[in-house]
Amino acid sequence: MTTPSLCCLLVSLWLGLGPAPPLSAPPAPPAARRAVGDDAPSVLHGGRKGARALVVLLHGGSFKGTSAEELARRSLGEVSADARREGLALLVPVAPAGCTSSTPFLEPAGEAAMLAALDAELARRTLDPGRVTLAGFGSGGAAALVLAARHSARFAAVAVWSASPPPLWEAQPAGGRRVVGLAPDPVPGLSGVPVYLFSADDDRILDRDCLAFFVGAMSAASARDPAWQLRWERGHGGHGFGDDGPRAGLHFLAGHRQRERP
C-alpha cells in the first residue's frame, strides 16, 4: 500500500467512517436474520438450535430512543442461555419502524409483525405447533398478555416479567387520574392459556395498580374455573428478570402444550 493510501485509511478509521473500499464491513452476528421478502419482519434467533418447542419473545420499549434492534438483541442476550438449557428455541421479532417506541407490539403494525414472523418460522422449519408459547419483558410483557388472549388458539402458555396489562385511566375531579381497570382487559381471553408472571418488589417502573387489577381478576377467574391459571412469583431485582433470571418462567413454558379446545 502506498503512503498516501495508508494515510487516507488511517484518517477514515480515526473519523469512525470505516476503511475505504475495497475492504468490506464485518458480517452481522449469526443470531440475526432478516426474513426474505420486502415486507418480511426482522427477527433474531436463539435458544436451543433445532428444538421443536418455540418461544416467541417480545422485547420491551424505550423512552430513551434505543432502537428496536438493540432492544431485541438485549432481550435475546438475557434469555437465550436459559432457553437453551430448557430445550426451547427462541424467536425474537424486531418491532417495525414507525411503531411507538414505548409500546411497539401493542400497535397493529407490531402485532402484525409478530404474527408474520411466527407464520414464517412455522413454514421455514419443523416445529411442534402445540408447543408454541409467548413471552415478554416490560411493555413486551404487557403486549404478550394482550396478544396471548387475542390469539389464544396459537399459544400454549405465556410468561411475562416486570409487566402488567395496559391501564384504563379515569380523570379525577380534583385533577390527576387513577387506574380503574385494564384496557384492553386480557383476562377473559386467557382461558386455557396458563400465565407465568414475575414481579420484583423493588421494581419502581411497574404499575402496581395495573398489577393488582390483573392478579385479582386472574385469581377470581381461576377460583371459578380451572381453565384460568396464574403462577405469580415475586422477588427482587428491580425492573427486569429478577435476581434469579428468566429460567423459572422458561421452565414454566417448557412444561405446557396446547390443549384441544371444545
The yes/no answer on whether domain 26-254 falls in CATH 3.40.50.10950 is no
DSSP at 171: E
Q: What is the mean pLDDT of residues 89-104?
A: 90
DSSP at 172: -
- Checking if the pLDDT of 34 tops 70, the result is no
How confident is the model at residue 23, as a pLDDT?
35
Q: Quick check: helix, strand or coil at residue 129?
A: helix
Check: CB of residue 166 under 8 Å from CB of residue 106: yes
Burial of 53 (0-12, 13-18, 19+ CB in 10 A): buried
Extract the C-alpha cell encoding 26.
Answer: 464485518
CA 226 to chain centre: 26
Region for residue 175 given its phi and psi (left: phi exceeds 0; alpha: psi -120 to 50; beta: otherwise): left
List phi, psi (to 5°) of 133. Answer: -125, 170
Distance of alpha carbon 260 from alpha carbon 31, whole angstroms: 34
Q: How do residues 142-188 score in pLDDT, each as one tens digit? A: 999 999 999 999 999 999 999 999 989 899 888 888 988 899 999 99
* Domain-wise residue ranges, the chain: 26-254
DSSP at 32: E
Q: How do residues 228-248 score in pLDDT, each as one tens digit? A: 999 999 999 999 999 999 999
List phi, psi (to 5°) of 136. Answer: -170, 160
How confident is residue 25, by pLDDT bands cut at 50, 70 and 90? very low
Distance of alpha carbon 158 from alpha carbon 194, whole angstroms: 6
Extract the C-alpha cell encoding 77.
Answer: 442476550
- Checking if the pLDDT of 258 tops 90, the result is no
How confident is the model at residue 261, as a pLDDT?
56
How confident is residue 49, by pLDDT bands cut at 50, 70 and 90? very high
